[in-house]
Amino acid sequence: MARQGYSLLVCPDPVLLRRRVEAQAAAGGMASAERKVFWGDEPDPLPGAFWEALTLKSLFSTPKVLVLRRANVLKAEAWDRLDKALRAANPDVWVFLCLEGAWERNKAPVPAVLTKRGLWKHAESSGWVWQSRGLDEKGLRLFVRDWTAERSLTFEPGAQEALCRALPLDAAALSLELDKLDLAAGDARLVRKEHVELVQGEEEMDLFALLDALAKGASPTHIWKRVLDNRAESEGMLFPLLGALAREVRLLWMLTSGEEDDLKVHPYVKQLKAPLARRLGRPALTRLLDLALEAEVGVKTGGRKPEQALELLVAELTGILGPAKARR
């Protein structure tokens, strides 16, 4: 793949975005380039450091990869400035603009304010736009195939099919499940049928995936449907959910407090969860613990029914974890 000045990546899944950035950078000869990440939903989405990295040439022509996450929330003036700057960008820099909004009716979440700019029109005509709705069954199989090759793993007969049926269609959750299997494969580098039992079933609630999705403004509808439509199981769901929430908040608190060395979890898990810990910060994490305590006390004292406590918890989670509020 030829090197280019910038790319537009349209996808709601952050893991797929990261893999795409890595793949394109490697194909363009920039696998070892210095990488800097900026966030479009920060109070100052395009700080001076961004423009310096984009326009200033270093003495040794050091290649750089600039990744602008959640660029879909940028205002018109920011796109105007980018439109102009990218025409005269440092040739040693490759900019990845990530549009991470939710897809609606098979329509990519490309802001109208962007489609009117020259940078979009040029990228579209040059083939510099990559679009993905996220994982589907076909994409999951390709993901597993690439993961297998990267780790030199093999499957015993029937294990791969069973695994693909059990894995979640969410790249962040999927990566965590595959990490378990990588460890289980051991020195033999063989995934067996019984290893599929390690995969978290769809009926279990992946709290990290839920919190991460909410903090990014996404709406994990399969979880909401289960919470709101199945009142008969509310009591059975509530207390395991509260326990899992407390454990997750404790882990995130330690990460945001610089105590990651004391965490007895796989390094990959730390790497995956650290961005969420930074996005939430201590105020939001403290509020999450308060919510768990309020729900538990409400049910145990008879002040709330389990389904009421569960629905209120869901509403509160949605309210405090929006991307505009998930700040330190």
Q: Is the pLDDT of residue 11 over 80?
A: yes
User: pLDDT tens for residues 159-200?
Assistant: 898 888 888 877 777 877 888 888 888 889 999 888 887 775
Domain borders along the chain are: 6-131, 137-198, 207-320
pLDDT of residue 232: 45
Is it true that domain 207-320 has CATH number 1.20.272?
yes
The Cα–Cα gap between 201 and 167 comes to 8
* pLDDT (average), residues 97-119: 88
| Range name among 26-40, 50-64, 125-139, 178-192 with the lowest pLDDT average | 50-64
The Cα–Cα gap between 92 and 125 comes to 22
Q: pTM of this prediction?
A: 0.57
308: Cβ–Cβ under 8 A, 6 or more apart, which residues?
298
DSSP 116-178: TSHHHHHHHHHT-EEE-----HHHHHHHHHHHHHHTT-EE-TTHHHHHHHHS-S-HHHHHHHH
User: What CATH superfamily is the domain 6-131?
Assistant: P-loop containing nucleotide triphosphate hydrolases (3.40.50.300)
The Cα–Cα gap between 269 and 154 comes to 23
Alpha-carbon distance values, 275 to 15, 59, 212, 253, 326 (Å): 12, 32, 9, 12, 11
61: left (phi over 0), alpha (psi -120 to 50) or beta: left
One-letter amino acid at 215 equals A
CB 326 within 8 A of CB 254: no
| Range name among 17-21, 75-79, 166-170 with the lowest pLDDT average | 166-170
What is the domain class of 137-198 according to CATH? Answer: mainly alpha
Q: Mean pLDDT score of the chain, rounded to an integer?
A: 80
User: pLDDT tens for residues 215-254?
Assistant: 655 555 555 554 555 444 445 567 777 877 888 888 888 8
pLDDT of residue 78: 94
